[in-house]
Amino acid sequence: MHDGRIGAREAAARPRRRLSPLSIRLAATVLLLTATSAAPAQEPAHDADRQRIEAVVGRLASPAMQGRRGEGAEKAAAYLVDEFRRIGLEPLFDGKFTQPIPGKEPGTVQGTNLGAMIRGADPKLKDDWVIVAAHYDHLGVRRGVLYPGADDNATGVAMMLEAARAFASAGAPPRRSVAFIGFDLEEIGLFGSRYLVAHPPMPLERVALFITADMIGRAMMGVCKQQVFVLGTEHAPGLRAWIDEAARDRPVRVSLLGSDVLILNRSDYGPFRTRQVPYLFFSTGENPCYHSPDDRPETIDYAKATVITRIIRDVARSAADAAETPRWNPNPDNPLAEAATIRDVLKELLGNERPLKLSGAAAYLMRSTLGDAEAILGRGAMTPAERARLIQSTRVILLMIQ
Ligand SMILES: [Zn+2]
């Protein structure tokens, strides 16, 4: 995930509303109902998927890969191309697994996107595409200190390889063609994905769905252990049914958010969003190890990363095989579930007020925003104005705590 911090913090003082006793009662009912929902089934604790994910993360975050910059990035690219070959994929870029990204000076190369594919088998759908992508670069070695980037984004790359393996070893080929892409230079303003969108290996209007994951092995602020955040369904609401299906009975909560909760495009979905390609962005969010030398493999929650990988794999398969896929919706359709996501996160953060050393101002804004979210959920409806206020407060809270 690239550092989207902006210089000026938004000041968003806003009037605090009082809740009516009725909305408090309704909100309490919703909370009770939520709390009594069935416990999810257990996933196998040690399994082959998880072992492969651990191996990929361990390899990409090892000192030999030098935080996947410079020579380390070249080594990582060679390793990933070997994996593409071992899985039995075809090259994506005119017979090659690599797409060099030219540097400023003529004849120079500043990075390399990686890509592989499985051809679709349906005569009518095989020219349509699903893309599963993750960036493999990270921050490198700075002043002699290694930034291993285990979560950012070795976990996402491990997911991409697992999805590829699942498609390659499934009994039947997908109906649509599926591309697996490793982006370079994400940490430098999404340069790799911007370059690919400008020089796409397939017509972008034939991309039915672009899915990327960036950081899927930790917990937001170290405390939102249950959640994976999913952005992008507002532009293709039909994707929600596939996500629900893929996440059913799994011990991770899929938490929907509109992409506008982040002020900038923070990962490789950005260039696809700009081109109005339906997309999904999965992330467990910023955590205390984000962009630090502590982003090491031994502190990843592999059980969680494995579950999220399976969810993404299943959504990709649905998109590859469905008779129809959701089209781009230019007017964002924001579900009520977004207010539930914000409520859940705020409750988690406020429940850890001391360990997180929340400032009084941050805690105050969180409580007030939590009240707003609960009132919205209690009424079972959210107006555009209420949503705008909720998102604005959430953005300010994110800026205050990160
Ligand atoms: Zn990053």
Ligand 1 centroid – CA 176 distance (Å):
31
Token pair in block for residue 30: 């919703």
DSSP 244: H
User: Is there a single domain that holds both residue 142 and residue 80?
Assistant: yes
Is residue 148 within 8 A of residue 300, CB to CB? The reply is no
Ligand 1 centroid – CA 192 distance (Å):
13
User: Is there a single domain that holds both residue 172 and residue 285?
Assistant: yes
Q: Helices in 236-383 by DSSP H: which ranges?
A: 239-247, 269-274, 302-321, 337-350, 360-379
Residue 197 lies in a domain: yes
Is residue 312 within 8 A of residue 132, CB to CB? The reply is yes
Residue 131 lies in a domain: yes
Ligand 1 centroid – CA 378 distance (Å):
37
CA-closest candidate to residue 228, choices 210, 203, 246: 246
Note if the bond before 153 is cis, omega within 30 degrees: yes
User: Is there a single domain that holds both residue 224 and residue 277?
Assistant: yes
Ligand 1 centroid – CA 151 distance (Å):
9
Ligand 1 centroid – CA 152 distance (Å):
5
Ligand 1 centroid – CA 320 distance (Å):
29
DSSP 33-83: HHHTSPPPPPPPSS-HHHHHHHHHHHHHTSGGGGGGSHHHHHHHHHHHHHH
Ligand 1 centroid – CA 52 distance (Å):
22
| Average pLDDT for 281-297 | 95
Ligand 1 centroid – CA 146 distance (Å):
14
Q: Is the pLDDT of residue 74 over 90?
A: yes
CA-closest candidate to residue 157, choices 74, 61, 26, 245: 61
User: Is there a single domain that holds both residue 225 and residue 297?
Assistant: yes
HSE at residue 246, side-chain half, CA atoms within 13 A, is 20
101 bridge partner residues: 111
Ligand 1 centroid – CA 148 distance (Å):
11
Token pair in block for residue 297: 């493999």
Ligand 1 centroid – CA 135 distance (Å):
9
Percentage of the chain beyond pLDDT 70 is 89
312: CATH: 3.40.630.10
Token pair in block for residue 250: 């799994």
User: Is there a single domain that holds both residue 61 and residue 143?
Assistant: yes
Ligand 1 centroid – CA 168 distance (Å):
29
pLDDT in tens, 31-54: 433 333 344 455 665 589 999 999
Ligand 1 centroid – CA 87 distance (Å):
27
Ligand 1 centroid – CA 1 distance (Å):
3
Confidence at 390, pLDDT banded by 50, 70, 90: very high
**Among residues 321, 346, 377, which one ends one of the domains?**
321
User: Is there a single domain that holds both residue 202 and residue 275?
Assistant: yes
Look at residue 248 and give its three-state secondary structure.
coil
User: Is there a single domain that holds both residue 30 and residue 142?
Assistant: no
**Among residues 253, 286, 321, which one ends one of the domains?**
321
Ligand 1 centroid – CA 139 distance (Å):
7
Q: Count structural domains, the chain.
A: 2
User: Is there a single domain that holds both residue 295 and residue 372?
Assistant: no
Measured in degrees and rounded to the nearest 5, phi and psi for residue 356 equal -80, -10
Ligand 1 centroid – CA 291 distance (Å):
6
pLDDT at 4: 63
Ligand 1 centroid – CA 172 distance (Å):
36
Residue 42 lies in a domain: no
Ligand 1 centroid – CA 95 distance (Å):
30
User: Is there a single domain that holds both residue 279 and residue 363?
Assistant: no
pLDDT in tens, 215-256: 999 999 999 999 999 999 999 999 999 999 999 999 999 999
Q: Which positions ≥6 away from 360 have C-beta within 8 Å?
A: none
Ligand 1 centroid – CA 377 distance (Å):
33
Place of tokens 């070997």: 82
User: Is there a single domain that holds both residue 206 and residue 243?
Assistant: yes
115 bridge partner residues: 181
Mean pLDDT estimate for the chain: 90
Ligand 1 centroid – CA 138 distance (Å):
6
pLDDT at 27: 43
- Measured CA to CA, the distance from residue 348 to residue 343 in angstroms comes to 9
CA 377 to chain centre: 25
Ligand 1 centroid – CA 338 distance (Å):
24
Residue 242 lies in a domain: yes
The rounded radius of gyration (Å) of the Cα atoms in the chain is 21
Residues across the chain:
402
- Measured CA to CA, the distance from residue 167 to residue 170 in angstroms comes to 5
**Among residues 321, 349, 376, which one ends one of the domains?**
321
Ligand 1 centroid – CA 350 distance (Å):
26
Residue 103 lies in a domain: yes
Ligand 1 centroid – CA 324 distance (Å):
34
Ligand 1 centroid – CA 288 distance (Å):
13
| Average pLDDT for 107-128 | 97
pTM of the model: 0.89
Q: Is the pLDDT of residue 372 over 60?
A: yes
User: Is there a single domain that holds both residue 205 and residue 169?
Assistant: yes
From its phi and psi, is residue 189 left (phi > 0), alpha (psi between -120 and 50) or beta?
left
Residue 100 lies in a domain: yes
Place of tokens 């502590």: 294
Token pair in block for residue 98: 């690599």
CA-closest candidate to residue 254, choices 220, 294, 296, 282: 282
Token pair in block for residue 293: 């030398």
Q: Is the pLDDT of residue 30 over 70?
A: no
Residue 375 lies in a domain: yes
Ligand 1 centroid – CA 78 distance (Å):
21
Residue 365 lies in a domain: yes
**What is the amino acid identity at position 257?**
L
Ligand 1 centroid – CA 395 distance (Å):
19
Ligand 1 centroid – CA 392 distance (Å):
24
pLDDT at 42: 59
- Measured CA to CA, the distance from residue 342 to residue 369 in angstroms comes to 9
User: Is there a single domain that holds both residue 375 and residue 285?
Assistant: no
Host domain of residue 269: 48-321
Place of tokens 């290694």: 146
